Amino acid sequence: MEAGGSDTDGREFKNAEEMWREEVGEGDDQKKTEWYRKGVGYWEGVEASVDGVLGGYGHVDEADVKGSEAFLKNLLVDRFGSGLRNRHLVALDCGSGIGRITKNLLLRYFNEVDLVEPVSHFLEAARESLVPENSTISDMHKAVNFYLLPLQEFTPEAGRYDVIWVQWCIGQLSDDDFVSFFKRAMAGLKPDGFFVVKENVAKSGFVLDKDDQSITRSDLYFKELFNQCGLHLYKSKDQKGFPEELFAVKMYALTSKQKRVTRSKVHSNKPAIIK
């Protein structure tokens, strides 16, 4: 990514490569580990509530879900057509936090939803909310697996998912881990499955947040990385109705350019599951 950017301390960078060399080094595993440790550490200090996971902007939850639902509904019809009614739909909620998107959106459209999240008290709150004790959870629409793992270490089960939903979390990953994650995750999609990526978008270049160790990328930056991942941009849409002081938010629907990876060729890392 050749465009310059800045961080929240006011430092300017000529390009993303310069910033990443500074933040995670080149082949420096210890420095990258520290980057991720600080990021998770920030969120470990945040309350497990809608307002907490939305950075004090809990009031945008309704507009967010409505925008996502309108985008998703059209995609499901476009991709699965007349077979949608009889299809057993499975989704993966990446960076799920407290299960806000699973509860308010995904469980209304998918028969099964798995959640993956690196912050333990967020994931525990999601489990308690989505699978409360002594309740009669519908067998038709249920949260199934709760994976306590960061995305850079997660490999989905091969061929399980119709949709892999990635929202407000991919900014925690360095560029190389971003590409590696999507290349692994492609094998987790069913042959006609797709990704939805919903993220803050910088006007140009990037903005590095020094508090939570995350990067907000521009639309062009995202598209360059999607291309490196072997992903095809199927559709995109701007989120409407958010406060003007926030970053713009964009939704991307992505499909694989590659031939489907067969189940027998995939070796997945076994993630930890909260029972």
pLDDT band for position 260 (50/70/90)? very low
Q: What is the reported pLDDT for 135?
A: 57
Contact between residue 131 and residue 107 where contact means Cβ atoms under 8 Å apart? no
pLDDT band for position 137 (50/70/90)? low
pLDDT band for position 274 (50/70/90)? low
The pLDDT tens digits for 10-19 are: 999 999 999 9
Question: Does pTM top 0.85 for this prediction?
Answer: yes
Angstrom distances, CA of residue 54 to CA of 50, 61, 206, 272: 6, 8, 20, 25
- What is the distance, to the nearest Å, from the Cα of residue 266 to the centroid of all Cα atoms in its chain? 21
pLDDT band for position 270 (50/70/90)? low
Mean pLDDT, the chain, integer: 92
pLDDT band for position 139 (50/70/90)? confident
What is the bridge-based pairing of β-strands 5-7 and 12-13?
antiparallel
Question: Which of 226, 197, 200 is closest to 212 using CA atoms?
Answer: 200
The pLDDT tens digits for 110-124 are: 999 999 999 999 999
Q: What is the reported pLDDT for 261?
A: 39
Is the pLDDT at 25 greater than 50? The verdict is yes
Q: What is the reported pLDDT for 83?
A: 87
- What whole-number distance in Å separates Cα of residue 123 and Cα of residue 33? 21
Q: What is the reported pLDDT for 28?
A: 84
- What whole-number distance in Å separates Cα of residue 167 and Cα of residue 55? 14
268 versus 141: the higher-pLDDT residue is 141
The binding site for S-adenosyl-L-methionine consists of 95, 100, 151-152, 167
The pLDDT tens digits for 161-198 are: 999 999 999 999 999 999 999 999 999 999 999 999 99
Question: Which of 195, 183, 191, 189 is closest to 160 using CA atoms?
Answer: 189
- Average confidence (pLDDT) over 2-14: 94
Contact between residue 191 and residue 260 where contact means Cβ atoms under 8 Å apart? yes
pLDDT band for position 259 (50/70/90)? very low
- What whole-number distance in Å separates Cα of residue 233 and Cα of residue 84? 22
- Average confidence (pLDDT) over 252-262: 74
Query: Which domains can be identified in the chain, with CATH numbers?
Result: 5-255 (3.40.50.150)
The binding site consists of 95, 100, 151-152, 167
Contact between residue 198 and residue 251 where contact means Cβ atoms under 8 Å apart? yes
